[in-house]
Amino acid sequence: MNQTKTHTIPVQSRRDFLCRGGGGFGALALSYLLGNDGYFTRAADVPVNPLQPLAGKPPHHFGKAKSVIWLFLEGGPSHLDLFDPKPALDKLAGQPMPESFGRPITAMGTANNTIMPTRRVFKQHGQSGIWVSDWYPHVAEHVDKIAVLRSCWADGLNHVGSVCQMNTGDILAGRPGLGAWAIYGLGSANQRLPSYVILTDANEVVGGPKNWSAGFLPAVYQGTSFRNEGDPIFHLAPPKTIGDRQQRNKLDFLSGLNRRFSADKTEDTELAARLNSYELAYRMQAAAPEAVDLSGESDATKKLYGCDDPATEKFGTNCLLARRMVERGVQFIQCYSGSGSGWDAHSNIEANHSKNCKASDKPIAGLLTDLHARGLLESTLVVWGGEFGRTPFNEKSDGRDHNPWGFTMWFAGGGMKGGTVVGSTDEIGLKAVEERSHVHDIHATILHAMGLDHERLTYLHNGRDERATVNGGRVVERLFA
């Protein structure tokens, strides 16, 4: 071929042709082998048995995290007062924010307020020397297990949209929660409990169940809210007048009717799928109460989580329940601290964060200690963070406004590189500047730790291959060991 064009490669001789052709044949062989290994397979391509929609599926790659425990601090914890010390705040205290940092559109119109320094004392901890404030003395003892991401950012300004985005990837309701995507991609590791569980410590989470709904995914993948008092799941137990034998006989009778009806309708699986959900509910009637029964836990374990102290009892109990869930094969657990925007410190941040840090510090440290002691930390990814951070300028003189432009989250276990700090915010902690990581990046990273490729985890909806990270997302590789 003598003419050279931009889309062709000139061949000079037969030997050159054979060399290039041989390389092409090798690539064909490689693509075939990778295809057999499922490398090019999307989750949407893996057939789902409608009779067993929660049956296990192979991951896209090896992931160390078999379970995720997300410690969700609702309301927005202040990174500036916990994990991201900024000496410049002391230098600029009481002054207007320098023009060089811009004037963001804030939730409460506070961009022209003055810089507010922190009253916390920061110290370096562990062999890694990671900075933690005196609000989290127990967590500080575990910094060598933690990978801190200081450069998170999001899109929402208010709590409803921001909590929704941190859960579903979008500030508008309607998309599946990240846990729903994980269970859709991997299936369930147990047949007696939900695989996606929500634990709250106070009020209802802002936005409610839309944060853990299945969205356009099949409803079987939605999250289930557990209570740590009374019946763990609403409407699970039958009336007291119906005994176990009567319940079992009723299900057997329904099963017999359905088999007779569908004997000549093998293509219609709706009845069998519905019966499958009845059977799961029946199994949960015994498994769910046992999972939340702490009577078998030692006093030392309960004390480790702070279950013996009214200040830490609620969140500590939920952290202990989360460990029990992991032991029973539950794959995605969210523990809300301050549910109902309890961390939202628009005024008197000292009182607000002192209360919430005390309520969460010992339970979180206890969870990390317990998981590590039981050999579960390497296979459990612990995520810490809220929907956004707080601003470096004041609101109402002694509080901080919402800050989605730069905040901190951290990760432990599940293959993460402990004792690591990734990314940074600017001098005053307003905006993420290095290794900026959007919510979609955080979701891609969590899924990657579980063995799922966020670009291949797709679901066909309205003619579009939808995915958890919408149109973006990248894995924050530096967080991994």
Which pLDDT score, from 0 to 100, does residue 4 have? Answer: 43
How many C-beta atoms surround the C-beta of residue 309 within 10 A?
14
**pLDDT digit string (tens) for 313-340?**
999 999 999 999 999 999 999 999 999 9
Is residue 388 in some structural domain?
yes
- What SS3 class is residue 286? helix
Is residue 383 in some structural domain?
yes
Which pLDDT score, from 0 to 100, does residue 5 have? Answer: 43
CA atoms of 365 and 368, how far apart (whole Å):
5
Is residue 121 in some structural domain?
yes
The 10 Å CB-count burial string (b at 16+, else e) for 114-125 is: ebbbbebebeeb
Region of poorest pLDDT, from 8-22, 72-86, 123-137, 200-214: 8-22
Q: How many residues does the chain have?
A: 481
Position 1 confidence tier, pLDDT thresholds 50, 70, 90: very low
Whether residue 384 has pLDDT greater than 60: yes
Region of poorest pLDDT, from 18-22, 84-88, 174-178, 256-260: 18-22
Average pLDDT, the chain: 88
Q: Mind giving me the DSSP string for 439-453?
A: HHHHHHHHHHHTT--
CA atoms of 264 and 242, how far apart (whole Å):
33
Beta strands in 183-318 (DSSP E): 196-199, 224-226
CA atoms of 372 and 365, how far apart (whole Å):
11
| Contact assessment for residue 153 and residue 79, using Cβ atoms and an 8 Å cutoff | no
Region of poorest pLDDT, from 160-169, 195-204, 447-456: 195-204
Rounded mean pLDDT, 161-167: 98
Closest CA to 122 of 103, 105, 113, 135: 135
Beta strands in 362-469 (DSSP E): 380-385, 389-395, 399-403, 407-412, 420-422, 424-425, 432-434, 437-438, 458-461, 464-467
Is residue 27 in some structural domain?
no
**pLDDT digit string (tens) for 175-232?**
999 999 999 999 998 878 889 999 999 889 999 999 999 999 988 899 988 876 666 6
CA atoms of 100 and 97, how far apart (whole Å):
8
Which pLDDT score, from 0 to 100, does residue 162 have? Answer: 98
Q: Tell me which residue has tokens 């048995």.
A: 49
State the CATH number of the domain containing residue 218: 3.40.720.10
Whether residue 274 has pLDDT greater than 80: no
Task: Identify the residue with better confidence: 13 or 253.
Answer: 253
Which pLDDT score, from 0 to 100, does residue 55 have? Answer: 85
212: its two tokens: 């853990």
Is residue 213 in some structural domain?
yes
Position 7 confidence tier, pLDDT thresholds 50, 70, 90: very low
Please state whether 182 falls in left (phi above 0), alpha (psi between -120 and 50) or beta.
Answer: alpha
DSSP H helices in 53-206: 88-91, 137-140, 159-168, 178-186
Angle in degrees, CA 326, 329, 330, rounded to 5: 70
The domain of 318 spans 62-228+292-479
Position 3 confidence tier, pLDDT thresholds 50, 70, 90: very low
- The highest-confidence range among 6-20, 244-258, 292-306, by mean pLDDT, is 292-306
Phi and psi dihedrals of 356, rounded to 5?
-70, -35
Rounded mean pLDDT, 132-153: 98
- What SS3 class is residue 292? coil
Angle in degrees, CA 248, 249, 250, rounded to 5: 90
480 burial type by CB count under 10 A (0-12 exposed, 13-18 middle, 19+ buried): middle
Which pLDDT score, from 0 to 100, does residue 85 have? Answer: 98
Is residue 275 in some structural domain?
no
| Contact assessment for residue 43 and residue 176, using Cβ atoms and an 8 Å cutoff | no
Position 116 confidence tier, pLDDT thresholds 50, 70, 90: very high
Whether residue 20 has pLDDT greater than 50: yes
Is residue 100 in some structural domain?
yes
Rounded mean pLDDT, 422-435: 98
Whether residue 267 has pLDDT greater than 70: no
Which pLDDT score, from 0 to 100, does residue 273 have? Answer: 53
Rounded mean pLDDT, 45-69: 84
Based on the structure, what is the number of domains in the chain?
1
Rounded mean pLDDT, 162-183: 97
Is residue 49 in some structural domain?
no
